[in-house]
Amino acid sequence: MTAADTDLLVSAQGLSVSYGSKRAVDDISFSIPKGRVVGLLGHNGAGKTTLMKALVGLASTQGRLDVLGLDPVRQRVELLQSACYIPDVAILPRWARVQDLITMMAGLHPRFSAERARQLIRRTSVKLTDKVKTLSKGMVVQAHLALVAAIDARLMILDEPTLGLDVLSRKAFYEMLIEEWCDGERSVVISTHQVEEIESLLSDVLMLNEGKLVLSISLEDMDRRFVALSHDAAVADQMAAAHPLLRYRTGPGAGGNAALFDGPPPEHVQALGKRMRPSLVDLFVALTRKPELDRTQF
């Protein structure tokens, strides 16, 4: 194994997951190095939750999948000592006090630090004496993250962790995640529909569409590869003739239209517009939309 191999926390080659005749994840290959914040994006039913379950050994797979040097199904007990998973339906026992949960975790997980959990709880509005049933949904999510982040793990997998929370609670959750858990060695995979909110936190993107991996890229490489041009309506037909991935209207204040290309468009087309940074949302629409969909119609 080379030094580069040891930096990989996840490696998948030809990975598929089937439920009967349906392939929820269809022959995908990707890797996740250490120290990354990966956004897992896709429409409902794209295969995101299935892929996350596969990463922690909760789904049988075809192909090759290596997580932290382990086979997730055959070595799941060992894997879960160094990988954390919070599913979108995760709950905490309503009868318990937060301190009780810390005590329980200390007895269940060999790499859990009770003192670390208390330190993280102090960052929130949750008190150790609070019962779960008295907490708001946002406070429960904060407490859950504090418990999981107190595990000395290398990989964290979060499935819609802030679903149903208000904007302030979502902001507090992600601040705590980045500041208290991400340290350049650990990696986190986040599935979310709030793409705009987390784009600035991400280092990489995995994008699924109907079980297929349509994009696996770092945001740095994304900015180099994809080109967006803002342009006047007068040259819209010329832009369309260059076959962009997507044509769309720019937001208020930008005033006009834009075209998104995979790679640099011809020089005569570039001269018709002004280059701008493509957003992750626009790229998501471009790569996962139905062929007939064009946002210039909206």
Output the CA–CA distances (angstroms, integers) from residue 164 to 105, 119, 138, 146, 149, in the order listed.
26, 26, 8, 19, 21
pTM given for the model: 0.89
Residue at which a domain ends, from 175, 190, 210: 210
**Number of independent structural domains in the chain:** 2
Residue 88 lies in a domain: yes
Output the CA–CA distances (angstroms, integers) from residue 267 to 202, 241, 264, 272, 273, in the order listed.
31, 14, 8, 9, 10
Domain check: are 12 and 139 in the same one? yes
Domain check: are 231 and 206 in the same one? no
Domain check: are 70 and 178 in the same one? yes
Domain check: are 71 and 166 in the same one? yes
For residue 265, the model assigns a pLDDT of: 92
Per-residue pLDDT of the chain (298 residues), as tens digits, is 333 456 899 999 999 999 998 999 999 999 999 999 999 999 999 999 999 999 999 999 999 999 999 999 999 999 999 999 988 776 889 999 999 999 999 999 999 999 999 999 998 889 999 999 999 988 998 899 999 999 999 999 999 988 888 888 888 889 989 998 888 899 999 998 888 889 999 999 999 999 999 999 999 999 999 999 999 989 999 999 999 999 988 765 555 899 999 999 999 999 999 998 889 999 999 999 765 544 443 3
Residue 216 lies in a domain: no
Residue 58 lies in a domain: yes
d(CA 163, CA 87): 11
Residue at which a domain ends, from 154, 177, 210: 210
d(CA 155, CA 106): 19
Residue 159 lies in a domain: yes
Domain check: are 206 and 240 in the same one? no
Domain check: are 205 and 145 in the same one? yes
Domain check: are 19 and 133 in the same one? yes
Per the CB < 8 A criterion, the answer to whether 186 and 35 are in contact is yes
Domain check: are 46 and 138 in the same one? yes
Q: Count of CB atoms within 10 A of residue 271's CB?
A: 10
Domain check: are 135 and 237 in the same one? no
For residue 6, the model assigns a pLDDT of: 61
DSSP state of 285: H
Strands 246-249 and 8-19: unpaired
Residue 50 lies in a domain: yes
Residue 107 lies in a domain: yes
d(CA 132, CA 100): 10
Domain check: are 66 and 194 in the same one? yes
Per the CB < 8 A criterion, the answer to whether 205 and 215 are in contact is yes
Residue 217 lies in a domain: no
Helix (H, G, I), strand (E, B) or coil at 237: helix
Domain check: are 169 and 124 in the same one? yes
For residue 36, the model assigns a pLDDT of: 96
Strands 155-159 and 83-86: parallel
Residue at which a domain ends, from 156, 184, 210: 210
Per the CB < 8 A criterion, the answer to whether 148 and 84 are in contact is yes
For residue 297, the model assigns a pLDDT of: 39
d(CA 262, CA 225): 6
Q: State which H helix or E strand residue 289 sits in.
A: none
Listed residue (245, 237, 224) closest to 293, CA to CA: 245
Listed residue (97, 149, 103, 160) closest to 128, CA to CA: 97
* Residue 249 structure tokens: 């209207």
Domain of residue 142 covers 3-210
Helix (H, G, I), strand (E, B) or coil at 287: helix
d(CA 107, CA 114): 10
For residue 2, the model assigns a pLDDT of: 39
Domain check: are 231 and 205 in the same one? no
Residue 215 lies in a domain: no
